[in-house]
Structure 1
Amino acid sequence: MLDDMLQYLGLSALSLKGFGPILLQGTWMTIKLGVLSLLVAVILGLIGASSKLSSLRVLRIPAQVYTTLIRGVPDLVLMLLIFYSLQTWLSNLTDAMDWDYIEIDPFSSGVITLGFIYGAYFTETFRGAILSVPRGQVEAATAYGLSRSQRFRFVVFPQMMRFALPGIGNNWMVMLKATALVSIIGLADLVKAAQDAGKSTYELFYFLVVAALIYLLITSASNFALRWAERRYAAGSREAQR
């Protein structure tokens, strides 16, 4: 698998001076971090969008504060604040409960932090997509006796995804690149692996170029998957227009 990937990039294990396996491990770590962070962000985004569209102020106001604060502070600052805040709160809890000390590993911290940050962006993406669904279709589903969950599953969600996919794709690309920030808290991701290899061989620029090419490969594959998803969710719309 490593050889195939390196050949695709036009590189060889020899040209990577023996750091190919380390870079591959870093790549896999970056992919896992991105996918799990995406899952957390999507869940928070759906909750946040539902809360912002709710008629209840107790739900709407916290969601508004959440999106405003997150989108107004740089990702790097938020990452450091959330990472150290989580560890501080957990330490205080273990001290208060007289438990053994628990240390949050960098991977879990990265997933929680990125998911929390980009959940705010997904909130706005899903909110706009939900508002784009014709209200008459929701009213028709209600008239047919569908429950709230059934209306969301069979009527709102499929149409919402058609409107949301471009925004989801954009958020995913940005979040994937933001995984590089997690290297500052000690996670052995692709950037950290490239930095370590570059410092060991005194060829930092070379290994950073390799990392950039690997990111480009991942984003290209993501674009292909997103285009497939857009065609899938737009199929019903095209049939209806004929």
Structure 2
Amino acid sequence: MDATLHLLSLTSPGWGGVLLGGLVASLQVAFGGYLLGLLIGTGGAAGKLWGGPILRDLLEVYTTVVRGVPELVLILILYYAGTDAVNQLMALAGLPSVDISGLAAGIFVIGVVQGAYSTEVLRGAILSIPPGQIEAARAYGMSPLLALRRVTLPAMLPFALPGLSNLWLIATKDTALLAVVGFAELTLVTRQAAGTTKAYMTFFLAAGVLYLGITLVSNLVIRAIEKRALRGMTRPGGAA
């Protein structure tokens, strides 16, 4: 027990501080990628529902490819090919190449993957809204953007929350895949600590506990958000 506590101590030569640093990096990527995915998903859902045929076809290709290709393969493609594409565009513009940080690249990769799933979640939630509510907004003379902000988004939230909650939990776990491209998130630093000390069981169990802690805290926050979003709505059986 003393040896385990020594290895997990927050100060050197313990690795506890390193693990917490990796946890913070994982949460930064997960949160940033999740928000980017929501932005992409909102635009993607609107494009699929109200865009022209070309836009709808392009979005269909995007969501089909992302959902059909393993996420690890997508991460490798987006991480390396995306960085190379940015630098090639910079070269064409006569500008020097840029060194994209691992954090920014990780957020972009997770965001693109999350965006495809968010598109379908939000599209389904919008289709679940009773048509009369949107028609009433139009009858009152609301512009499409105003109707989206005041009617569509609030009305779709209860339908979208279960799917969006799952996507957040998936985002926190997908950050572990970034270890294959050398981003120092929780899984990579755990592997480094275990490889250095040979205490594989200790460090991977510690990482598992940290991931579980993220999930438990997230579930509490999700329940609070769902309770607020569903207030005043009639539940099955007539209870409010």
* Equivalence for 2:159: 163
* Equivalence for 1:136: 132
- Cα 1:23–1:55, aligned 2, differ >3 Å: closer, same or farther? closer
- Normalising by structure 1, we get a TM-score of 0.90
* Equivalence for 2:32: 36
* Equivalence for 1:3: none
- Cα 1:12–1:198, aligned 2, differ >3 Å: closer, same or farther? closer
Structure 1 residue 192: Cα displacement: 1.2
In the alignment, structure 1 residue 16 sits paired with structure 2 residue 8? yes
Amino acid at match of 1:162: P
* Equivalence for 1:84: 80
* Counterpart Cα distance in 1 of 2:43 and 2:5: 45
Runs of 4+ in 1 over 3 A off after TM superposition: 238-242
Structure 1 residue 118: Cα displacement: 1.2
1:175-226 alpha-carbon deviations (Å, 9 max, x no partner)? 2101001111121111111111111101122211100100000011111111
* Counterpart Cα distance in 1 of 2:168 and 2:150: 25
In the alignment, structure 1 residue 234 sits paired with structure 2 residue 226? no
C-alpha contact (below 8 Å) 1:194/1:211 kept by paired residues = yes
* Equivalence for 1:8: none
* Equivalence for 2:187: 191
In the alignment, structure 1 residue 66 sits paired with structure 2 residue 62? yes
Amino acid at match of 2:212: L
C-alpha contact (below 8 Å) 2:4/2:202 kept by paired residues = no
* Equivalence for 2:215: 219
C-alpha contact (below 8 Å) 1:194/1:208 kept by paired residues = yes
* Counterpart Cα distance in 1 of 2:184 and 2:199: 19
* Counterpart Cα distance in 2 of 1:151 and 1:94: 39
Which residue among 65, 82, 103 is the counterpart of 1:107?
103
C-alpha contact (below 8 Å) 2:41/2:119 kept by paired residues = yes
Structure 1 residue 146: Cα displacement: 1.7
Q: Which is further off, 142-151 or 169-178?
A: 142-151
C-alpha contact (below 8 Å) 1:46/1:122 kept by paired residues = yes
Amino acid at match of 1:132: S
- Normalising by structure 2, we get a TM-score of 0.91
C-alpha contact (below 8 Å) 2:90/2:96 kept by paired residues = yes
Identical columns (%): 36
C-alpha contact (below 8 Å) 2:7/2:15 kept by paired residues = no
Amino acid at match of 2:128: S
Q: RMSD between aligned alpha carbons?
A: 1.9
- Secondary structure of 1:237 counterpart: coil
Amino acid at match of 2:6: L
**Runs (5+) with no aligned partner, structure 2:** none
- Cα 1:55–1:196, aligned 2, differ >3 Å: closer, same or farther? closer
Amino acid at match of 1:24: L
* Equivalence for 1:26: 22
* Equivalence for 1:45: 41
C-alpha contact (below 8 Å) 1:13/1:19 kept by paired residues = no
Amino acid at match of 1:210: A
1:53-99 alpha-carbon deviations (Å, 9 max, x no partner)? 12511221111111011100000000111111112212322333343
> How many aligned residue pairs are there?
232
